[in-house]
Structures are given as structure tokens and as C-alpha cells.
């Protein structure tokens, strides 16, 4: 095992980025249609009949620069238990009211109409996708990363902040305590909130555990070296749930860790990820209309 000193140095030297969120859905085409109402594009799609599943990747920009969502449809499974831990995904849009009307016109479900957030002035709305995942629509000026948040509920906010800063290498961007509604928020990420997807942690007063369900899976992040990252995480007291190494049949090197609340995070070798994107078969890339 590497000593803590070089492992700590690697945390400062590494270049990390949130790549995509992975979760399971019950009807692939319905979800693709719904996310297009939000303004996303279908980036690529692949079917793995031998293992009886299909993946689709959607986002607002190319995967080598932007955050994306990776949907998994398992043959014959039409519903999932989302659980209590996963909260929502966030999308920054210039006109939330117009987005709400577009979603309604397209047959989507709005659970909160457009209006100012409680105790503030930012206009938000909430939509529910076909499987039941919640999407917060946040009114913001034009941004290069509209897919802006992954919200997870945690049982000990300071413990989670310490983990994501000291172990995962994120920066604490801001916190917000809302005592009237008995919750506290913390926003963390690898870059400014205005131009990057960030992690939003929610601590509800007195709630220490959440049922995870079987829908939401993980977030993938980039690293320059999965082996050094595994050493760094161990040295910082983190838990390795998958040892670093190549994925069988693909070759991309990955490693995985579990955070204190049991959420899974997968680090992906940056060069391998970009090579994987370059080698995507043409049949997996849809024609954009």
C-alpha cells in the first residue's frame, strides 16, 4: 500500500470530472422521448442481447466534455423501486415555465408548477419521468452544462462532506440550512456550479438512514489513473468495492468505492474512456434530427 503522503499528492495532481449517472428504467423509448422534452439529445445506444439489456446515453453535449445519463433497460423488467436515498436530477433551463408547458404538451408529468423556491427567488419546477425519477427544473442563464445536479440524501452531512472532499477530491461549493423545513443542503463538485454537474447532498434533521431501492445505480467519474486513485482512497480511509483493473470484454480500466451512506461511485480511466468514445460503432450513434 502506498503511503499517505504520495497518495495525498495524487489527489492534488489528478484531474477528475463527473462523467455520467447510471440508473435503471422500465421503458427505454418512453424515457428517451421524455428527456428530449427537456432538451437532451440521444448520444448513443447499444443493445446487449446476450446479457438481455439495452443502454442509452443522453445529455446536452458530447460525453467527452459534458455530463450524461446512462439508462439501462433490462429485458422484461418494467418497474423499479427508486427508494428514499436518491432525490432528483437537476436541469438548468433559461425558461422553466416554458419547459413545464412543453413537458405537459408532450404527455409528461409535472409534480410542482413553475414558481419561486421556498424562501428564495429562483424559479423552479419538478417533473417525474416514466419510471418515477424526479427532475428539478432550475431557471438559470445559458450554461455549458445544463445537466447540473445529482441529489442524494445522506444521514450525516458533515461525514459526507469530509468524505467527498478528503477522499473523492471534490470542493465544497456552498451549504444552505433551512431550519423552517428541517433540512440542510451541501453542494460539492470538481468545478464551479455554473458550468459543471455537481453533487447536492440533503440532510433531513434526525434522519440517519435511507432505503436505496434498486433503480438508481451509481455515478461514474474520470481519473488519470485508477490504480493511484485506489491507493489514495485507501490511504484516506475510503472503502474500495471493486479493485482497479480492466472491465472484461471491454478493456476500460475502472475501480469502485462506496461512500459512507452506501452509494456507489465508479472511477474510469480518462484515456480509456475517451478511446471508448472514439471507437463507438456508427450503428450506436443515432442521427440527430
CA distance 285 to 273: 16
Bridge partners of 150, per DSSP, are 89, 199
- In which order are the strands placed within the sheet that holds 198-204? 109-116, 123-128, 134-139, 86-93, 147-153, 198-204, 183-189, 171-178
DSSP class of residue 287?
Answer: P
pLDDT score recorded for residue 288: 55
Q: Strand ranges (DSSP E) for the chain?
A: 17-24, 41-48, 53-59, 68-74, 86-93, 109-116, 123-128, 134-139, 147-153, 171-178, 183-189, 198-204, 216-223, 239-246, 253-258, 264-269
pLDDT score recorded for residue 237: 94
pLDDT score recorded for residue 279: 84
Q: Residues 91, 147: contact at Cβ < 8 Å?
A: yes
Give the residue numbers marked as catalytic.
Answer: 136
Q: Give the dihedral of Cα atoms 209, 23, 272, 51; nearest 10 deg.
A: 120
pLDDT score recorded for residue 56: 96
- ∠ Cα 141 265 200 (to 5°): 35
CA 15 to chain centre: 18
DSSP class of residue 84?
Answer: T
CA distance 4 to 9: 9
CA distance 97 to 127: 12
Q: Of 130, 88, 124, which Cα lies nearest the Cα of 106?
A: 130
pLDDT score recorded for residue 282: 64
The whole model's pTM is what?
Answer: 0.94
pLDDT score recorded for residue 4: 47
Per-residue pLDDT of the chain (289 residues; tens, 9 = 90+): 344 446 679 999 999 999 999 999 999 999 999 999 999 999 999 999 999 999 999 999 999 999 999 999 999 999 999 999 999 999 999 999 999 999 999 999 999 999 998 878 999 999 999 999 999 999 998 899 999 999 999 999 999 999 999 999 999 999 999 999 999 999 999 999 999 999 999 999 999 999 999 999 999 999 999 999 999 999 999 999 999 999 988 899 999 999 999 999 999 999 999 998 998 776 667 765 4
Amino acid at each position: 500500500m502506498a503511503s499517505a503522503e504520495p497518495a495525498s499528492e495524487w489527489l492534488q495532481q489528478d484531474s477528475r470530472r463527473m462523467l455520467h449517472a447510471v440508473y435503471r428504467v422500465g421503458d427505454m423509448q418512453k424515457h428517451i422521448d421524455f428527456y428530449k422534452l427537456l432538451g437532451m439529445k440521444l448520444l448513443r445506444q447499444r443493445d446487449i442481447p446476450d446479457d438481455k439489456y439495452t443502454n442509452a446515453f443522453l445529455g446536452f453535449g458530447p460525453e467527452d466534455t459534458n455530463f450524461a445519463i446512462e439508462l439501462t433497460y433490462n429485458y422484461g423488467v418494467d418497474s423499479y423501486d427508486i427508494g428514499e436515498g436518491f432525490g432528483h436530477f437537476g436541469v438548468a433551463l433559461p425558461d422553466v415555465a416554458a419547459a413545464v408547458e412543453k413537458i405537459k404538451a408532450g404527455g409528461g408529468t409535472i409534480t410542482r408548477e413553475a414558481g419561486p423556491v421556498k424562501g428564495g427567488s429562483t424559479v423552479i419546477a419538478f417533473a417525474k419521468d416514466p419510471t418515477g425519477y424526479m427532475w428539478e427544473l432550475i431557471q438559470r442563464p445559458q450554461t455549458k452544462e445544463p445537466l447540473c445536479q445529482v441529489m442524494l440524501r445522506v444521514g450525516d452531512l458533515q461525514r459526507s462532506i469530509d468524505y467527498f472532499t478528503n477522499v473523492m477530491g471534490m470542493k465544497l461549493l456552498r451549504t444552505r440550512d433551512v431550519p423552517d423545513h428541517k433540512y440542510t443542503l451541501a453542494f460539492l463538485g470538481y468545478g464551479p456550479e455554473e458550468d459543471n454537474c455537481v453533487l447536492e447532498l440533503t440532510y433531513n434533521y434526525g434522519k440517519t438512514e435511507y432505503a436505496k431501492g434498486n433503480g438508481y445505480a451509481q455515478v461514474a467519474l474520470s481519473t488519470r489513473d485508477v490504480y493511484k486513485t485506489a491507493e489514495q482512497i485507501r490511504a484516506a480511509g475510503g472503502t474500495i468495492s471493486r479493485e482497479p483493473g480492466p472491465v472484461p470484454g471491454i478493456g476500460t480500466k475502472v475501480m469502485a468505492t462506496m461512500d459512507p451512506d452506501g452509494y456507489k461511485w465508479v472511477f474510469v480511466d480518462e484515456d480509456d474512456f475517451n478511446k471508448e468514445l472514439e471507437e463507438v460503432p456508427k450503428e450506436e450513434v443515432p442521427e440527430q434530427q
